[in-house]
Structure 1
Amino acid sequence: MDSVYPAAPLEAPKGSVELQATPEQQHLLPPAPPSYDQATTTPAETTGPAPVPASTSTTQHTVVVVPGSPYGPEPMDVQCPYCHNYARTRVSFKPNSRTHLIALILCLFQLYCCVCLPYCISSCMNTNHYCGMCDRYLGTYDRK
C-alpha cells in the first residue's frame, strides 16, 4: 500500500516569495498555538485565590424607526409580501374623521344636498391598498 503523504516536506516552487513578518508587524500576529505535549499535559495546580474575571457589562439599545406608509393615493406596482408576485395594488376608499367633519360642516351651513359629496370624493378619504393577485391587505395611505 502506497503512503498518501509525501516522505519529505514539499518545497515552495521556484520564483515564489516567502513572506516574513518584520519586527514591527510581530505584535499584529496571533500567538502560536501550544504544542501537543503542552496541550495534553495537566496543568500544575495553583494555590491562592482564583482569578476573578473582569466584569464588563454592555447594554445594547435597539431603536426602531417606523417610516410612513410606502403607499400613496393611487394604485401602484409592488411585490406582495404574501404571494411574492409583482402586481398593481387594488385600492378602496374608506371615510375618515376628516370626511365626517366636512359632512358636518355642510350640514351646519344647511347644504343638505351636498352632504354626500365628501363620501363620493376619494381625496376626502383614506386609501386602502390590496394585492392585485391574492387580494390581501397591504397598507393604508392616510390623508391628513
Structure 2
Amino acid sequence: MDSVKFGYPESQPPVIPHQPVPPPSYTVAGPSYPPPPPPPGLVSHIPPTSAQNGQRVVTIGTTRFGPYPQNVICPTCNEQVITLTSRKSGLLAWLVSIGCCVVGCVFGCCLIPFYTDITLDVEHSCPRCARKLGINRKIEFN
C-alpha cells in the first residue's frame, strides 16, 4: 500500500519513550480531627477487625432488611451468608382481612390477605445457625 497516497511519509516517525510523571502529593496542612461519632440508633452488625499498625476498623451501620434475601454477616456465627426468608402474617394482613369482613367479603375472601406476598411480613434468618436476623414489616406498630 502506498502511504504517500494518504499523506504519510514513507519512513516512520521517531519513537519518543514515555516518561512517567509522578502524581502530586495531596497533603492537608493543619490539625487532624477524629471522625465524628455515629448518629444515635446505628448498630454495628459487623464485628471489629484489627488492621495493620494496631488500628481498629469498625464498620457501623444498620441493616435494613427488604423483601428479598440479602448478603449479611451473621453476628452469631460471624459468617457472611445470604439470608433465608419466610413470610409471616403481620399487621397489614390482619387489617386488610378485617377490612374485607367489614365490606362484606366474609365467605373466604377475608383469608386472601394471608396468602398474598403484598400483605405479608418477611422474616430474615441465618441459614447456618438459624438465628433470626431481622424482619421487613409492611406496617410498624410501636
So what's the TM-score if we normalise by structure 1?
0.51
Candidates 64, 82, 97, aligned match of 2:40: 64
**Aligned residue in 2 for 1:119:** 114
**C-alpha separation in 2, matches of 1:126 and 1:87:** 21
Q: In structure 1, what is the Cα distance between the partners aligned to 2:78 and 2:39? A: 28
What is the identity, as a one-letter code, of the residue corresponding to 1:140? Answer: I
Structure 2: gaps (5+ residues): 1-37, 43-60
Distance 1:68 1:100, change over 3 A: farther
* Percent pairwise identity: 24
Separation (CA, whole Å) in 1 of partners of 2:110 and 2:63: 30
Q: Note the aligned Cα RMSD (angstroms).
A: 2.3
Equivalent residue letter for 2:105: L
Larger helix fraction of residues: 1
Gaps of 5+ in 1: 1-61
* Counterpart amino acid of residue 119 in structure 2: C
One-letter identity of the residue aligned with 2:113: P
Residue identity matched to 1:65: G
Does the C-alpha gap of structure 1 residues 100 and 134 become closer, same or farther in structure 2, counting only changes over 3 Å? same
The alignment's TM-score, normalised by the length of structure 2, stands at 0.51
Change (3 A) 1:63 1:87: closer
Count of aligned positions = 84
What is the distance in 1 between the residues matched to 2:62 and 2:105?
A: 36
Which residue pairs with 1:85 in the alignment? 79
C-alpha distance after superposition, 1:58-97 (max 9, x if no partner) = xxxx961347652111111212111112221111222222
